[in-house]
Amino acid sequence: QYAEFFVTLHGWYTDPECLYMPMEYCEHLDLGTYLRRHKSLPEDQVHDIGYQLLQGLSRMHDNGFAHRDLKPANVLIKRKPPEAWWVKLCDLGLSRRSSDASGSTTVRFTPDFMAPELI
Protein backbone atom coordinates (compact mmCIF):
# COMPACT_ATOMS: atom_id res chain seq x y z
CA GLN A 1 0.00 0.00 0.00
CA TYR A 2 3.00 2.34 0.35
CA ALA A 3 4.93 1.26 -2.76
CA GLU A 4 3.22 3.86 -4.92
CA PHE A 5 5.04 6.64 -3.01
CA PHE A 6 8.52 5.15 -2.59
CA VAL A 7 11.13 3.69 -4.93
CA THR A 8 11.22 -0.10 -4.57
CA LEU A 9 14.53 -1.59 -3.46
CA HIS A 10 15.06 -5.00 -5.07
CA GLY A 11 17.69 -6.21 -2.60
CA TRP A 12 21.33 -5.54 -2.02
CA TYR A 13 24.60 -7.16 -2.97
CA THR A 14 28.20 -6.66 -1.99
CA ASP A 15 31.64 -7.34 -3.31
CA PRO A 16 34.92 -6.52 -1.56
CA GLU A 17 34.77 -2.89 -2.72
CA CYS A 18 31.12 -1.89 -3.16
CA LEU A 19 27.56 -2.20 -1.95
CA TYR A 20 24.99 -2.51 -4.76
CA MET A 21 21.35 -1.62 -4.24
CA PRO A 22 19.27 -2.22 -7.39
CA MET A 23 16.13 -0.10 -7.37
CA GLU A 24 13.01 0.37 -9.39
CA TYR A 25 13.67 2.13 -12.69
CA CYS A 26 12.14 5.59 -12.98
CA GLU A 27 12.41 6.61 -16.59
CA HIS A 28 12.55 10.38 -16.16
CA LEU A 29 15.46 10.79 -13.75
CA ASP A 30 14.91 13.04 -10.74
CA LEU A 31 13.02 16.28 -10.24
CA GLY A 32 16.21 18.31 -9.73
CA THR A 33 17.68 17.20 -13.07
CA TYR A 34 14.36 17.74 -14.82
CA LEU A 35 14.06 21.30 -13.46
CA ARG A 36 17.64 22.16 -14.45
CA ARG A 37 16.89 21.04 -18.01
CA HIS A 38 13.38 22.47 -18.41
CA LYS A 39 13.44 25.38 -15.92
CA SER A 40 9.76 25.09 -14.98
CA LEU A 41 6.67 22.91 -14.80
CA PRO A 42 3.05 23.66 -15.68
CA GLU A 43 0.94 24.55 -12.66
CA ASP A 44 -1.20 21.40 -12.87
CA GLN A 45 1.93 19.21 -12.74
CA VAL A 46 3.28 21.17 -9.77
CA HIS A 47 -0.03 20.52 -8.01
CA ASP A 48 0.08 16.78 -8.81
CA ILE A 49 3.70 16.41 -7.72
CA GLY A 50 3.14 18.36 -4.51
CA TYR A 51 0.09 16.29 -3.65
CA GLN A 52 1.95 13.02 -4.25
CA LEU A 53 4.93 14.15 -2.16
CA LEU A 54 2.63 15.11 0.69
CA GLN A 55 0.91 11.72 0.47
CA GLY A 56 4.26 9.90 0.68
CA LEU A 57 5.53 12.06 3.53
CA SER A 58 2.23 11.61 5.33
CA ARG A 59 2.64 7.82 5.10
CA MET A 60 6.14 8.14 6.57
CA HIS A 61 4.96 10.39 9.40
CA ASP A 62 1.94 8.17 10.12
CA ASN A 63 4.44 5.36 10.71
CA GLY A 64 6.71 7.50 12.87
CA PHE A 65 9.46 8.33 10.37
CA ALA A 66 10.95 11.56 9.02
CA HIS A 67 12.76 11.69 5.64
CA ARG A 68 15.36 14.30 6.74
CA ASP A 69 16.81 14.86 3.26
CA LEU A 70 13.90 15.91 1.07
CA LYS A 71 15.14 17.75 -2.02
CA PRO A 72 14.39 17.66 -5.76
CA ALA A 73 17.20 15.15 -6.39
CA ASN A 74 15.46 12.69 -4.05
CA VAL A 75 12.19 12.80 -5.97
CA LEU A 76 12.25 10.37 -8.90
CA ILE A 77 9.86 10.90 -11.80
CA LYS A 78 7.70 8.28 -13.44
CA ARG A 79 5.22 9.28 -16.08
CA LYS A 80 1.86 7.57 -16.28
CA PRO A 81 0.05 7.83 -19.61
CA PRO A 82 -1.39 9.99 -20.89
CA GLU A 83 1.00 12.68 -19.71
CA ALA A 84 0.10 12.35 -16.04
CA TRP A 85 3.02 12.48 -13.64
CA TRP A 86 3.87 10.18 -10.80
CA VAL A 87 6.77 10.78 -8.44
CA LYS A 88 8.43 8.55 -5.87
CA LEU A 89 10.57 9.43 -2.88
CA CYS A 90 14.02 7.90 -2.70
CA ASP A 91 17.24 8.13 -0.67
CA LEU A 92 15.81 7.29 2.72
CA GLY A 93 19.32 6.79 4.14
CA LEU A 94 18.99 9.70 6.57
CA SER A 95 15.41 8.93 7.58
CA ARG A 96 14.87 8.18 11.24
CA ARG A 97 12.04 7.45 13.60
CA SER A 98 10.54 10.77 14.60
CA SER A 99 10.78 9.78 18.25
CA ASP A 100 14.47 8.79 17.96
CA ALA A 101 16.24 10.61 20.77
CA SER A 102 19.49 8.73 20.44
CA GLY A 103 21.48 11.64 21.77
CA SER A 104 23.48 12.01 18.57
CA THR A 105 24.71 15.54 18.04
CA THR A 106 25.71 14.90 14.43
CA VAL A 107 23.52 16.85 12.05
CA ARG A 108 23.30 15.52 8.49
CA PHE A 109 21.51 17.38 5.75
CA THR A 110 21.81 18.98 2.34
CA PRO A 111 22.55 22.65 3.18
CA ASP A 112 20.40 24.27 0.47
CA PHE A 113 17.38 22.19 1.51
CA MET A 114 17.82 22.17 5.27
CA ALA A 115 14.78 22.89 7.45
CA PRO A 116 14.77 26.49 8.76
CA GLU A 117 14.47 25.34 12.36
CA LEU A 118 17.89 23.64 12.06
CA ILE A 119 19.69 26.85 11.05
Question: What are 50-64's pLDDT values in tens digits?
Answer: 998 888 888 888 878
Classified as helix, coil or strand, 50 is: helix
* Assigned domain for 40 exists: yes
pLDDT in tens, 26-53: 777 888 998 898 888 888 888 988 998 8
pLDDT in tens, 87-112: 888 875 555 555 654 545 455 556 66
Predicted pLDDT at 16? 92
Q: What is the CATH number for 48?
A: 1.10.510.10
Predicted pLDDT at 118? 52
What's the domain range around 19?
A: 3-92
Handedness of CA 22, 23, 29, 35 (dihedral sign): negative
* Assigned domain for 108 exists: no
Q: Is 112 a catalytic residue?
A: no
Q: How far is CA 30 from CA 64, 109, 112, 118, in A?
A: 26, 18, 17, 25
- Predicted TM-score (pTM) of the model is 0.67
Predicted pLDDT at 34? 87
Cα 107 from Cα 58, distance rounded (Å) = 23
- CB contact at 8 A, 18 and 12: no
Predicted pLDDT at 101? 42
Structural domain count of the chain: 1
* Assigned domain for 23 exists: yes
3-state helix vs strand vs coil in the chain, percent to 5: 35, 20, 45
Handedness of CA 26, 27, 29, 34 (dihedral sign): negative
Selected catalytic residue, list 30, 69, 91, 100 = 69
In this predicted structure, the answer to whether residue 82 has a pLDDT above a threshold of 60 is: yes
* Assigned domain for 102 exists: no
